[in-house]
Amino acid sequence: MKASKKLVVSGVFWNSLQLVVNQSFAFVIRLVLAKMLVPEQFGLIGMATVFTGLVQVLNDIGIGAALIQKKDDSLREAHYHTSFWTGIGWSLFLYTFICLIFGPLAAKFYNEPLLVKLIPVLSIGIISGPINLVHKAQLTKQMNFKKMAFIDNSSNIAAGSISLILAFSGAGVWSLAFNSVASIVIAMPLYFAATKWRPKFIWEADAFKDVFGFGVYTVGTSVVNYLINNIDYLFIGKLLSAQALGAYTFAFVLTDTFRSRLMSVINNVMYPIYGQKQSDSESLKRYYLLVLNYNSIFIYPIMVFMAVLGEPFILNFFGTKWSDSTAPLQILSLSVMVHMMVNSNTALIRGMGRPDLELKLQIFKAVLFIPTLIFGIVNYGIVGAAWAVLINKVLAVIIAQYTFNRLLNIKISTLEFFTAVKAPWLAAAVSFLVSYFLFKILKTYYLFSAFALFVSYCFVIWLLLGEQLRRQYQQYLDSKT
């Protein structure tokens, strides 16, 4: 138990460092690009990403997740080599498909000829991604998040720097396209150096069945997840315009990007832990509620800032050309706060070896979400889309509670669930009232209101969780000895 805690604390530290560096730098990149580009160009990337992202989800066919979930005594060298070559072959097929079929299809669907050229560039990561797949799985199983943080930070900083150079050189939308794929390519030699693993010409049918049998459910879930998370881009781009999609995409970048990156940080740490503890329901419950609490603590003040002060922030930093983003930004901020309450449940279900249940749940949520989304877009535009996303997140919380108490051997009562997130929600409420009063009532400068927001939030968190945070910090210090 003590060893597991050390691994979790150390893993969260290094993944959090990775998050801070990546997101801080990525935010600067987005800020500069948003000042130089226009909503229509962001909208074009959003249109292309709907198609390329779906193929990227299909790309590892769940192999990476299968390698991580399987216990060490059931894995042989053949599993790794088979996974590598299967991924390479599959990615080459997908890249050919996307260039010949998806590119022209997307251009015709949106009536945007540039997508024929843009989509193949955005899809370069499809070829290079599987090369890193086995290395990532090995480092994750070893809980060696320090190396992964170094690789991710280095590759993202290098890619972002080159994107800025391209933007200042007048590359326009191509600077955004490069920024989306370059980090994967740059990371390849770093992963090879980190693991020392080298592929051999080995492909074994039994090994393929082992990893693909698990992975087929995982990739099915990933596809459904992707459709749920990106179907709004598809319909907005088709039913409205590139400019509307650009404004909506920008609001999503400022809100859901933080949420998704934090989810990947914590879930990368917890997924192998859930796999190791899959037969210990009490440990799973304890870890899950702990993750729920800490994820919310980190993300809530950012979302409160976006909800209260997002409008002056966008208009002052990015300009009036992004004014259409302010209304959906506020709604999406609240949706992210709700989503944080279920941000680790898919990793938990998958870690317990139930990817089939995860897939069924995601299909059920998609059936509920899509009609709501179409109704919102048709009647209220991008604001309606944002409201549909919020409603979907509320339903996800209800479904998650039912799943834990009825379909899994983890009993988390409603009281336990809400108690776990009591501190961040109370802190968010207090900071919201403080910043709203200063900015809306007293007409205080928005940056001063933002400072008061974060101070009041941290003060409430320390009052409620100060002792617990001190213990966690001590555990981190112990993990280094």
Contact 14, 480 (CB under 8 A): no
> Under a CB-based contact definition with an 8 Å cutoff, are residues 337 and 428 in contact?
yes
Give the HSE-up count for residue 215: Cα atoms under 13 Å, Cβ half-sphere. Answer: 22
Alpha carbon separation from 93 to 66, 134, 177, 215, 220 (Å, rounded): 21, 19, 21, 18, 18
Cβ count near 315 (within 10 Å):
16
Task: Provide φ and ψ at 204, rounded to 5°.
Answer: -125, 130
Helices (H), 112-144: 115-122, 124-141
Domain ranges of the chain: 2-420
**pLDDT bucket at 289, cuts 50 / 70 / 90:** confident
d(CA 257, CA 238): 23
pLDDT of residue 271: 46
Average pLDDT, the chain: 79
Q: How far is CA 328 from CA 263, 414, 480, in A?
A: 22, 30, 43
CA angle 166, 172, 173 (to 5 degrees): 110
Span 22-60, pLDDT tens digits: 556 666 666 666 666 678 877 887 788 788 777 777 776
pLDDT band at 375 (very low <50, low <70, confident <90, very high): very high
Out of 110-124, 173-187, 207-221, 256-270, the most confident range is 110-124
* CB burial string 160-189: b at 16+ within 10 A, e below: bebbbebbeeeebbbbbbbbbbbbbbbbbe
Q: Which residues fall within 8 angstroms of residue 480, CB to CB, at 6 or more apart? A: 10
For residue 385, what pLDDT is reported?
A: 94
The encoded tokens of residue 66 equal 């299968």
What's the average model confidence in pLDDT over 136-154? 76
Q: Which residue type occupies 478?
A: D
Q: What is the DSSP string of 346-374?
A: HHHHHHTT-HHHHHHHHHHHHHHHHHHHH
Distance CA 126, CA 123 (A): 5
Looking at residue 2, what is its pLDDT? Answer: 46
Yes or no: say if 263 and 270 are a contact pair by the CB < 8 Å rule. Answer: no
Distance CA 223, CA 230 (A): 10
Q: Tell me, what DSSP letter sits at residue 100?
A: I
Q: How many residues does the chain have?
A: 481
Name the residue type at position 172. G
Say what the pLDDT of residue 1 is. 45
Give the chain's end-to-end CA distance (angstroms, integer). 16
pLDDT of residue 350: 63
What is d(CA 238, CA 110) in angstroms, rounded to the nearest whole number?
6
Convert the pLDDT of each residue in 423-447 to its tens digit: 999 999 999 999 999 999 999 999 9
What is the chain's percent helix, strand, coil content, to nearest 5? Answer: 90, 0, 10
Average pLDDT, integer, range 291-317: 88
> Does residue 405 carry a pLDDT above 80?
no
The pLDDT-based confidence of 298 (bands split at 50, 70, 90) is confident
pLDDT band at 176 (very low <50, low <70, confident <90, very high): low
Which is nearest to 392 in space by CA: 227, 218, 265, 243? 227
